[in-house]
Structure 1
Protein backbone atom coordinates (compact mmCIF):
# COMPACT_ATOMS: atom_id res chain seq x y z
CA UNK A 1 0.00 0.00 0.00
CA UNK A 2 1.39 3.39 -1.00
CA UNK A 3 0.78 6.70 0.72
CA UNK A 4 1.07 9.92 -1.23
CA UNK A 5 2.28 12.81 0.90
CA UNK A 6 1.02 16.27 -0.11
CA UNK A 7 3.01 18.90 1.77
CA UNK A 8 0.80 21.85 0.80
CA UNK A 9 -2.35 20.03 1.87
CA UNK A 10 -0.84 19.02 5.22
CA UNK A 11 0.26 22.59 5.85
CA UNK A 12 -3.25 23.89 5.13
CA UNK A 13 -4.82 21.34 7.47
CA UNK A 14 -2.33 22.17 10.22
CA UNK A 15 -2.93 25.89 9.80
CA UNK A 16 -6.72 25.37 9.98
CA UNK A 17 -6.38 23.40 13.21
CA UNK A 18 -4.22 26.12 14.75
CA UNK A 19 -6.77 28.79 13.79
CA UNK A 20 -9.61 26.79 15.38
CA UNK A 21 -7.63 26.26 18.58
CA UNK A 22 -6.78 29.96 18.68
CA UNK A 23 -10.43 30.91 18.30
CA UNK A 24 -11.45 28.52 21.09
CA UNK A 25 -8.74 29.88 23.38
CA UNK A 26 -9.72 33.46 22.58
CA UNK A 27 -13.40 32.73 23.21
CA UNK A 28 -12.67 31.07 26.56
CA UNK A 29 -10.46 33.98 27.59
CA UNK A 30 -13.12 36.51 26.60
CA UNK A 31 -15.75 34.53 28.48
CA UNK A 32 -13.57 34.53 31.57
CA UNK A 33 -13.26 38.29 31.36
CA UNK A 34 -17.00 38.88 30.84
CA UNK A 35 -19.26 39.65 33.80
CA UNK A 36 -22.97 38.87 33.87
CA UNK A 37 -24.84 41.98 32.74
CA UNK A 38 -28.44 40.83 32.56
CA UNK A 39 -30.68 37.82 33.35
CA UNK A 40 -33.73 37.09 31.23
CA UNK A 41 -36.35 34.58 32.42
CA UNK A 42 -38.69 33.22 29.74
CA UNK A 43 -41.63 31.07 30.86
CA UNK A 44 -43.68 29.10 28.38
CA UNK A 45 -47.25 29.81 29.51
CA UNK A 46 -48.94 28.94 26.25
CA UNK A 47 -51.64 27.05 28.19
CA UNK A 48 -51.95 29.83 30.80
CA UNK A 49 -50.80 27.67 33.69
CA UNK A 50 -49.26 30.33 35.90
CA UNK A 51 -47.89 28.05 38.61
CA UNK A 52 -44.57 29.91 38.64
CA UNK A 53 -43.46 33.43 37.80
CA UNK A 54 -40.06 34.98 37.12
CA UNK A 55 -39.37 35.56 40.81
CA UNK A 56 -40.04 31.89 41.57
CA UNK A 57 -37.57 30.80 38.89
CA UNK A 58 -34.94 33.13 40.33
CA UNK A 59 -35.56 31.58 43.76
CA UNK A 60 -35.12 28.10 42.27
CA UNK A 61 -31.75 29.21 40.97
CA UNK A 62 -30.89 30.03 44.62
CA UNK A 63 -29.27 33.22 43.46
CA UNK A 64 -30.25 36.81 44.00
CA UNK A 65 -30.50 38.62 40.69
CA UNK A 66 -28.59 41.67 41.94
CA UNK A 67 -25.76 39.54 43.34
CA UNK A 68 -25.58 37.46 40.19
CA UNK A 69 -25.26 40.53 38.06
CA UNK A 70 -21.64 41.54 37.92
CA UNK A 71 -20.32 38.08 38.76
CA UNK A 72 -17.69 36.66 36.42
CA UNK A 73 -19.18 34.24 33.94
CA UNK A 74 -16.61 31.56 34.76
CA UNK A 75 -17.61 31.63 38.44
CA UNK A 76 -21.18 30.52 37.64
CA UNK A 77 -21.93 26.88 36.78
CA UNK A 78 -24.97 27.14 34.52
CA UNK A 79 -25.35 23.37 34.25
CA UNK A 80 -25.72 23.01 38.02
CA UNK A 81 -28.27 25.82 38.11
CA UNK A 82 -30.16 24.26 35.19
CA UNK A 83 -30.31 20.93 37.01
CA UNK A 84 -31.67 22.66 40.12
CA UNK A 85 -34.40 24.40 38.12
CA UNK A 86 -35.40 21.18 36.32
CA UNK A 87 -35.92 19.45 39.69
CA UNK A 88 -38.98 21.64 40.35
CA UNK A 89 -42.16 19.48 39.83
CA UNK A 90 -44.01 22.28 37.99
CA UNK A 91 -41.23 22.50 35.38
CA UNK A 92 -41.13 20.08 32.47
CA UNK A 93 -37.91 21.41 30.94
CA UNK A 94 -35.42 24.24 31.42
CA UNK A 95 -32.49 25.55 29.42
CA UNK A 96 -29.86 28.02 30.64
CA UNK A 97 -27.36 29.62 28.29
CA UNK A 98 -25.20 32.72 28.00
CA UNK A 99 -23.61 34.83 25.27
CA UNK A 100 -20.29 36.65 24.95
CA UNK A 101 -21.95 39.93 25.93
CA UNK A 102 -22.68 38.67 29.44
CA UNK A 103 -26.40 37.95 29.12
CA UNK A 104 -27.86 34.84 30.79
CA UNK A 105 -31.15 33.45 29.49
CA UNK A 106 -33.33 31.04 31.50
CA UNK A 107 -35.98 29.36 29.33
CA UNK A 108 -38.60 27.36 31.26
CA UNK A 109 -41.44 25.13 30.06
CA UNK A 110 -44.16 24.46 32.62
CA UNK A 111 -46.02 21.17 32.95
CA UNK A 112 -49.66 21.22 31.89
CA UNK A 113 -52.15 19.65 34.35
CA UNK A 114 -54.97 17.49 32.96
CA UNK A 115 -56.54 16.24 36.21
CA UNK A 116 -56.59 17.13 39.90
CA UNK A 117 -56.20 14.49 42.62
CA UNK A 118 -58.45 15.13 45.63
CA UNK A 119 -58.21 13.10 48.83
CA UNK A 120 -59.11 13.31 52.51
CA UNK A 121 -55.94 11.73 53.91
CA UNK A 122 -53.36 14.02 52.33
CA UNK A 123 -52.73 17.07 50.17
CA UNK A 124 -54.25 17.40 46.72
CA UNK A 125 -52.13 17.20 43.59
CA UNK A 126 -52.27 17.43 39.80
CA UNK A 127 -51.64 14.84 37.11
CA UNK A 128 -49.62 16.48 34.37
CA UNK A 129 -49.87 15.85 30.64
CA UNK A 130 -46.67 13.79 30.76
CA UNK A 131 -48.03 11.59 33.57
CA UNK A 132 -46.09 13.18 36.43
CA UNK A 133 -47.87 13.95 39.69
CA UNK A 134 -47.17 17.49 40.88
CA UNK A 135 -48.37 19.51 43.89
CA UNK A 136 -51.05 22.19 43.92
CA UNK A 137 -50.08 25.84 43.92
CA UNK A 138 -51.19 28.88 45.91
CA UNK A 139 -50.69 30.99 42.80
CA UNK A 140 -52.95 29.22 40.34
CA UNK A 141 -55.84 26.73 40.23
CA UNK A 142 -56.37 24.78 37.02
CA UNK A 143 -59.93 23.86 36.04
CA UNK A 144 -59.57 20.18 35.20
CA UNK A 145 -61.44 16.95 35.92
CA UNK A 146 -61.21 15.73 39.54
CA UNK A 147 -59.80 12.30 40.47
CA UNK A 148 -60.73 10.59 43.76
CA UNK A 149 -60.99 7.12 45.28
CA UNK A 150 -58.83 4.26 46.54
CA UNK A 151 -56.81 3.96 43.31
CA UNK A 152 -55.05 7.24 44.12
CA UNK A 153 -52.70 5.43 46.53
CA UNK A 154 -51.48 3.29 43.64
CA UNK A 155 -50.91 6.36 41.46
CA UNK A 156 -48.85 8.12 44.12
CA UNK A 157 -46.46 5.16 44.33
CA UNK A 158 -45.53 5.52 40.66
CA UNK A 159 -43.07 7.97 39.13
CA UNK A 160 -45.55 8.56 36.31
CA UNK A 161 -49.22 7.58 36.11
CA UNK A 162 -48.77 5.65 32.85
CA UNK A 163 -46.17 3.21 34.22
CA UNK A 164 -48.80 0.45 34.39
CA UNK A 165 -51.29 -0.67 31.73
CA UNK A 166 -54.25 0.52 33.80
CA UNK A 167 -52.49 3.83 34.44
CA UNK A 168 -51.85 4.29 30.72
CA UNK A 169 -55.54 3.58 30.03
CA UNK A 170 -56.52 6.11 32.68
CA UNK A 171 -54.33 8.74 31.01
CA UNK A 172 -56.03 8.03 27.68
CA UNK A 173 -59.43 8.44 29.35
CA UNK A 174 -58.49 11.75 30.95
CA UNK A 175 -57.10 13.07 27.66
CA UNK A 176 -60.21 11.92 25.80
CA UNK A 177 -62.35 13.94 28.22
CA UNK A 178 -60.07 16.96 27.99
CA UNK A 179 -59.94 16.95 24.18
CA UNK A 180 -63.70 16.66 23.66
CA UNK A 181 -65.67 19.87 24.15
CA UNK A 182 -68.84 18.05 25.25
CA UNK A 183 -67.19 15.66 27.73
CA UNK A 184 -64.89 18.30 29.23
CA UNK A 185 -67.96 20.42 29.99
CA UNK A 186 -70.09 17.49 31.19
CA UNK A 187 -67.81 15.23 33.28
CA UNK A 188 -66.71 16.75 36.58
CA UNK A 189 -65.18 13.87 38.55
CA UNK A 190 -63.80 10.34 38.22
CA UNK A 191 -64.01 8.26 41.39
CA UNK A 192 -61.70 5.25 40.98
CA UNK A 193 -61.82 2.31 43.39
CA UNK A 194 -58.83 0.16 44.34
CA UNK A 195 -59.50 -2.18 41.38
CA UNK A 196 -59.38 0.74 38.90
CA UNK A 197 -63.14 0.67 38.30
CA UNK A 198 -64.42 4.17 37.50
CA UNK A 199 -67.60 5.95 38.51
CA UNK A 200 -68.17 9.30 36.79
CA UNK A 201 -70.08 12.27 38.17
CA UNK A 202 -71.44 14.91 35.81
CA UNK A 203 -71.68 18.70 36.00
CA UNK A 204 -75.41 18.59 35.17
CA UNK A 205 -77.73 15.95 36.62
CA UNK A 206 -77.54 13.62 39.63
CA UNK A 207 -76.80 10.37 37.81
CA UNK A 208 -73.88 8.14 38.77
CA UNK A 209 -72.17 6.80 35.64
CA UNK A 210 -70.64 3.36 36.15
CA UNK A 211 -67.93 3.39 33.48
CA UNK A 212 -65.97 0.37 34.71
CA UNK A 213 -62.30 0.03 33.87
CA UNK A 214 -60.82 2.63 31.51
CA UNK A 215 -61.00 0.45 28.41
CA UNK A 216 -63.15 0.35 25.22
CA UNK A 217 -63.36 4.13 25.45
CA UNK A 218 -64.91 4.71 22.04
CA UNK A 219 -67.72 2.20 22.63
CA UNK A 220 -68.51 3.40 26.15
CA UNK A 221 -68.48 7.10 25.22
CA UNK A 222 -70.69 6.34 22.22
CA UNK A 223 -73.27 4.72 24.52
CA UNK A 224 -73.00 7.55 27.03
CA UNK A 225 -73.59 10.12 24.30
CA UNK A 226 -76.77 8.27 23.27
CA UNK A 227 -77.90 8.49 26.90
CA UNK A 228 -77.33 12.26 27.03
CA UNK A 229 -78.50 13.13 23.52
CA UNK A 230 -81.50 10.81 23.09
CA UNK A 231 -82.68 9.33 26.39
CA UNK A 232 -82.44 12.21 28.89
CA UNK A 233 -84.17 14.82 26.66
CA UNK A 234 -87.19 12.49 26.44
CA UNK A 235 -87.23 11.09 29.97
CA UNK A 236 -86.01 14.11 31.94
CA UNK A 237 -82.63 15.06 33.46
CA UNK A 238 -83.58 13.90 36.94
CA UNK A 239 -85.17 10.61 35.91
CA UNK A 240 -82.16 8.32 36.51
CA UNK A 241 -79.72 7.95 39.40
CA UNK A 242 -77.51 5.22 37.96
CA UNK A 243 -76.19 4.53 34.46
CA UNK A 244 -74.05 1.47 33.68
CA UNK A 245 -71.95 1.28 30.48
CA UNK A 246 -70.16 -2.03 31.14
CA UNK A 247 -72.63 -4.39 29.46
CA UNK A 248 -71.89 -5.08 25.81
CA UNK A 249 -74.38 -3.59 23.37
CA UNK A 250 -76.65 -1.95 25.95
CA UNK A 251 -77.10 0.90 28.41
CA UNK A 252 -78.53 0.12 31.84
CA UNK A 253 -80.25 3.14 33.41
CA UNK A 254 -82.16 3.04 36.70
Structure 2
Protein backbone atom coordinates (compact mmCIF):
# COMPACT_ATOMS: atom_id res chain seq x y z
CA UNK A 1 0.00 0.00 0.00
CA UNK A 2 2.76 2.42 0.97
CA UNK A 3 4.53 1.71 -2.35
CA UNK A 4 1.36 2.59 -4.27
CA UNK A 5 0.98 5.82 -2.31
CA UNK A 6 4.63 6.68 -3.02
CA UNK A 7 4.18 6.03 -6.73
CA UNK A 8 1.01 8.17 -6.76
CA UNK A 9 2.81 11.03 -5.00
CA UNK A 10 5.73 10.85 -7.43
CA UNK A 11 3.30 10.80 -10.36
CA UNK A 12 1.47 13.84 -9.01
CA UNK A 13 4.75 15.69 -8.47
CA UNK A 14 5.94 14.81 -11.98
CA UNK A 15 2.63 15.98 -13.46
CA UNK A 16 2.91 19.22 -11.49
CA UNK A 17 6.42 19.80 -12.85
CA UNK A 18 5.16 19.22 -16.41
CA UNK A 19 2.33 21.74 -15.94
CA UNK A 20 4.76 24.26 -14.38
CA UNK A 21 7.22 23.95 -17.25
CA UNK A 22 4.43 24.23 -19.83
CA UNK A 23 2.92 27.26 -18.09
CA UNK A 24 6.32 28.94 -17.77
CA UNK A 25 7.04 28.30 -21.45
CA UNK A 26 3.65 29.77 -22.40
CA UNK A 27 4.33 32.90 -20.33
CA UNK A 28 7.76 33.27 -21.91
CA UNK A 29 6.16 32.82 -25.33
CA UNK A 30 3.60 35.55 -24.62
CA UNK A 31 6.28 37.84 -23.25
CA UNK A 32 8.26 37.40 -26.44
CA UNK A 33 5.30 38.91 -28.32
CA UNK A 34 6.44 42.31 -27.12
CA UNK A 35 9.33 42.16 -29.61
CA UNK A 36 8.03 44.24 -32.49
CA UNK A 37 8.81 44.74 -36.16
CA UNK A 38 7.28 47.58 -38.18
CA UNK A 39 6.84 47.29 -41.96
CA UNK A 40 5.90 50.41 -43.93
CA UNK A 41 3.97 49.23 -46.99
CA UNK A 42 4.53 52.39 -49.04
CA UNK A 43 7.96 52.69 -50.63
CA UNK A 44 7.79 56.49 -50.33
CA UNK A 45 6.26 56.51 -46.87
CA UNK A 46 7.14 59.55 -44.79
CA UNK A 47 5.71 58.02 -41.63
CA UNK A 48 8.43 57.22 -39.11
CA UNK A 49 8.75 53.65 -37.82
CA UNK A 50 9.51 55.20 -34.43
CA UNK A 51 6.04 56.77 -34.35
CA UNK A 52 4.40 53.39 -35.01
CA UNK A 53 6.65 51.65 -32.50
CA UNK A 54 5.82 54.24 -29.86
CA UNK A 55 2.08 53.70 -30.29
CA UNK A 56 2.56 49.93 -29.97
CA UNK A 57 4.86 50.13 -26.95
CA UNK A 58 2.50 52.45 -25.09
CA UNK A 59 -0.37 50.01 -25.55
CA UNK A 60 1.77 46.96 -24.75
CA UNK A 61 3.09 48.59 -21.58
CA UNK A 62 -0.48 49.35 -20.55
CA UNK A 63 -1.41 45.71 -21.13
CA UNK A 64 1.50 44.54 -18.96
CA UNK A 65 0.39 46.89 -16.19
CA UNK A 66 -3.00 45.23 -16.32
CA UNK A 67 -1.29 41.82 -16.08
CA UNK A 68 -2.61 40.84 -19.50
CA UNK A 69 -0.05 38.67 -21.20
CA UNK A 70 -2.17 37.93 -24.23
CA UNK A 71 -2.10 40.73 -26.77
CA UNK A 72 -5.36 41.79 -28.45
CA UNK A 73 -4.19 42.22 -32.05
CA UNK A 74 -7.41 43.86 -33.21
CA UNK A 75 -7.17 46.39 -30.38
CA UNK A 76 -3.60 47.23 -31.41
CA UNK A 77 -4.80 47.84 -34.98
CA UNK A 78 -7.51 50.17 -33.67
CA UNK A 79 -4.91 52.07 -31.63
CA UNK A 80 -2.71 52.53 -34.71
CA UNK A 81 -5.65 53.74 -36.79
CA UNK A 82 -6.20 56.61 -34.33
CA UNK A 83 -3.08 58.21 -35.84
CA UNK A 84 -4.10 60.64 -38.59
CA UNK A 85 -1.40 59.53 -41.03
CA UNK A 86 -2.20 55.80 -40.84
CA UNK A 87 -4.88 54.65 -43.28
CA UNK A 88 -4.55 50.90 -42.72
CA UNK A 89 -2.78 48.63 -40.22
CA UNK A 90 -2.43 44.87 -39.86
CA UNK A 91 -0.89 43.34 -36.74
CA UNK A 92 -0.01 39.65 -36.40
CA UNK A 93 2.29 37.37 -34.40
CA UNK A 94 4.90 35.08 -35.91
CA UNK A 95 5.58 31.56 -34.65
CA UNK A 96 8.55 32.77 -32.61
CA UNK A 97 6.38 35.36 -30.84
CA UNK A 98 7.42 38.48 -32.74
CA UNK A 99 4.73 41.12 -33.17
CA UNK A 100 4.73 42.28 -36.81
CA UNK A 101 2.92 45.46 -37.85
CA UNK A 102 2.26 46.39 -41.48
CA UNK A 103 1.26 50.03 -41.88
CA UNK A 104 -0.07 51.94 -44.90
CA UNK A 105 0.30 55.69 -44.76
CA UNK A 106 -2.41 58.21 -45.52
CA UNK A 107 -1.29 60.70 -48.19
CA UNK A 108 -2.88 64.08 -48.98
CA UNK A 109 -4.11 64.38 -52.56
CA UNK A 110 -5.92 67.73 -52.38
CA UNK A 111 -5.81 70.97 -50.38
CA UNK A 112 -9.14 72.37 -49.20
CA UNK A 113 -9.34 76.15 -48.86
CA UNK A 114 -12.50 77.30 -47.10
CA UNK A 115 -12.89 78.96 -43.69
CA UNK A 116 -9.83 76.90 -42.78
CA UNK A 117 -7.19 74.98 -44.73
CA UNK A 118 -6.70 71.22 -44.53
CA UNK A 119 -5.90 68.24 -46.75
CA UNK A 120 -8.02 65.35 -47.97
CA UNK A 121 -6.73 61.87 -48.76
CA UNK A 122 -7.99 59.71 -51.65
CA UNK A 123 -10.87 58.39 -49.51
CA UNK A 124 -12.06 61.86 -48.52
CA UNK A 125 -10.60 61.68 -45.00
CA UNK A 126 -9.57 65.02 -43.54
CA UNK A 127 -5.90 65.56 -42.62
CA UNK A 128 -4.86 68.63 -40.64
CA UNK A 129 -1.97 70.67 -42.03
CA UNK A 130 -0.27 70.60 -38.62
CA UNK A 131 0.04 66.82 -38.87
CA UNK A 132 3.00 67.29 -41.22
CA UNK A 133 5.08 69.50 -38.96
CA UNK A 134 6.48 66.64 -36.89
CA UNK A 135 7.77 64.52 -39.79
CA UNK A 136 9.89 65.10 -42.89
CA UNK A 137 7.31 65.35 -45.66
CA UNK A 138 8.70 64.25 -49.02
CA UNK A 139 5.53 64.75 -51.04
CA UNK A 140 5.33 67.99 -52.99
CA UNK A 141 2.31 69.46 -51.22
CA UNK A 142 2.59 72.76 -53.09
CA UNK A 143 1.41 71.16 -56.33
CA UNK A 144 -1.73 69.54 -54.95
CA UNK A 145 -5.07 70.46 -56.57
CA UNK A 146 -7.00 73.05 -54.55
CA UNK A 147 -10.69 72.54 -53.69
CA UNK A 148 -12.87 75.58 -52.95
CA UNK A 149 -16.56 76.44 -52.81
CA UNK A 150 -19.72 75.61 -50.91
CA UNK A 151 -19.61 72.16 -49.32
CA UNK A 152 -19.45 70.41 -45.97
CA UNK A 153 -17.84 67.30 -44.51
CA UNK A 154 -20.60 65.15 -46.02
CA UNK A 155 -19.32 66.16 -49.49
CA UNK A 156 -15.67 65.11 -49.01
CA UNK A 157 -16.10 61.62 -50.49
CA UNK A 158 -18.11 62.99 -53.43
CA UNK A 159 -15.42 65.61 -54.11
CA UNK A 160 -12.60 63.08 -54.02
CA UNK A 161 -14.50 60.64 -56.26
CA UNK A 162 -14.92 63.42 -58.81
CA UNK A 163 -11.30 64.53 -58.53
CA UNK A 164 -10.09 60.94 -58.94
CA UNK A 165 -12.27 60.44 -62.03
CA UNK A 166 -10.68 63.52 -63.60
CA UNK A 167 -7.13 62.61 -62.58
CA UNK A 168 -7.52 59.06 -63.90
CA UNK A 169 -7.71 60.59 -67.37
CA UNK A 170 -4.11 60.83 -68.58
CA UNK A 171 -4.69 64.23 -70.18
CA UNK A 172 -5.80 65.80 -66.89
CA UNK A 173 -3.60 63.79 -64.51
CA UNK A 174 -1.19 66.59 -63.57
CA UNK A 175 -3.07 69.57 -65.04
CA UNK A 176 -5.70 70.23 -62.36
CA UNK A 177 -5.11 73.47 -60.49
CA UNK A 178 -8.51 74.05 -58.88
CA UNK A 179 -11.85 72.30 -58.40
CA UNK A 180 -14.75 74.49 -57.31
CA UNK A 181 -18.22 73.55 -56.10
CA UNK A 182 -20.58 76.45 -56.71
CA UNK A 183 -23.62 77.41 -54.64
CA UNK A 184 -25.90 75.82 -57.27
CA UNK A 185 -24.08 72.49 -56.77
CA UNK A 186 -22.35 72.57 -60.15
CA UNK A 187 -18.60 72.16 -60.54
CA UNK A 188 -15.91 74.24 -62.21
CA UNK A 189 -12.38 73.23 -63.09
CA UNK A 190 -9.25 75.28 -63.69
CA UNK A 191 -6.10 73.87 -65.32
CA UNK A 192 -2.48 74.78 -64.70
CA UNK A 193 -0.87 77.21 -67.15
CA UNK A 194 -4.27 78.17 -68.51
CA UNK A 195 -6.81 80.96 -67.96
CA UNK A 196 -9.72 78.78 -69.04
CA UNK A 197 -12.58 78.04 -66.66
CA UNK A 198 -14.20 74.68 -67.44
CA UNK A 199 -17.82 74.30 -66.34
CA UNK A 200 -18.53 70.62 -65.64
CA UNK A 201 -22.11 70.99 -64.46
CA UNK A 202 -23.03 68.14 -62.09
CA UNK A 203 -20.85 65.10 -61.47
CA UNK A 204 -22.64 62.82 -63.96
CA UNK A 205 -21.18 61.60 -67.28
CA UNK A 206 -17.77 62.99 -66.34
CA UNK A 207 -15.84 60.81 -68.80
CA UNK A 208 -18.00 61.96 -71.71
CA UNK A 209 -17.58 65.60 -70.68
CA UNK A 210 -13.81 65.24 -70.44
CA UNK A 211 -13.66 63.59 -73.88
CA UNK A 212 -15.70 66.46 -75.33
CA UNK A 213 -13.25 68.95 -73.85
CA UNK A 214 -10.22 67.10 -75.20
CA UNK A 215 -11.71 67.10 -78.69
CA UNK A 216 -12.37 70.84 -78.44
CA UNK A 217 -8.92 71.49 -76.96
CA UNK A 218 -7.13 69.67 -79.79
CA UNK A 219 -9.03 71.60 -82.49
CA UNK A 220 -8.72 74.98 -80.75
CA UNK A 221 -5.00 74.50 -80.23
CA UNK A 222 -4.53 73.41 -83.84
CA UNK A 223 -6.41 76.51 -85.04
CA UNK A 224 -4.55 78.75 -82.55
CA UNK A 225 -7.82 80.07 -81.06
CA UNK A 226 -7.61 78.57 -77.56
CA UNK A 227 -6.72 81.91 -75.96
CA UNK A 228 -9.82 83.50 -77.50
CA UNK A 229 -12.08 81.84 -74.92
CA UNK A 230 -12.53 82.46 -71.20
CA UNK A 231 -15.07 79.75 -70.31
CA UNK A 232 -15.89 76.30 -71.68
CA UNK A 233 -19.25 74.83 -70.65
CA UNK A 234 -19.51 71.02 -70.74
CA UNK A 235 -22.75 70.75 -68.76
CA UNK A 236 -24.91 69.99 -71.81
CA UNK A 237 -24.99 66.51 -73.37
CA UNK A 238 -22.55 66.15 -76.28
CA UNK A 239 -22.06 69.91 -76.53
CA UNK A 240 -19.21 72.31 -75.86
CA UNK A 241 -20.41 75.88 -75.32
CA UNK A 242 -17.64 78.48 -75.45
CA UNK A 243 -17.60 82.02 -74.07
CA UNK A 244 -15.30 84.42 -75.88
CA UNK A 245 -12.85 86.45 -73.90
CA UNK A 246 -13.71 90.14 -73.73
Q: TM-score, normalised by structure 1?
A: 0.70
- Output the CA distance in 1 between the equivalents of 2:45 and 2:220: 38
How far is the alpha carbon of 1:237 from its aligned partner? 4.1
- Output the CA distance in 2 between the equivalents of 1:62 and 1:239: 62
Q: For the Cα contact (< 8 Å) 1:198–1:211, is it kept in 2? A: yes
1:133 to 120, 126, 129: 126
Quote the residue 2:234 is aligned against.
Answer: 245
Map Cα deviations across residues 97-137 of structure 1 (whole Å, 9 max, x no partner). 22353422111122354x31322421312132x33333342
How far is the alpha carbon of 1:222 from its aligned partner? 1.4
1:224 to 201, 207, 213: 213
Ranges in structure 1 where 5+ consecutive residues have no aligned partner = 1-21
1:43 matched to 2:33? The reply is: no
How far is the alpha carbon of 1:224 from its aligned partner? 0.8
- Output the CA distance in 2 between the equivalents of 1:248 and 1:64: 56
2:174 alignment partner, SS class: helix
Q: TM-score, normalised by structure 2?
A: 0.72
- Output the CA distance in 2 between the equivalents of 1:146 and 1:210: 16
Map Cα deviations across residues 12-44 of structure 1 (whole Å, 9 max, x no partner). xxxxxxxxxx9xx95x75331233373210011
Aligned residues: 213
Quote the residue 1:16 is aligned against.
Answer: none
- Output the CA distance in 2 between the equivalents of 1:73 and 1:102: 15
The 5 Å alignment of 1:14-33 reads 26=22, 30-33=25-28
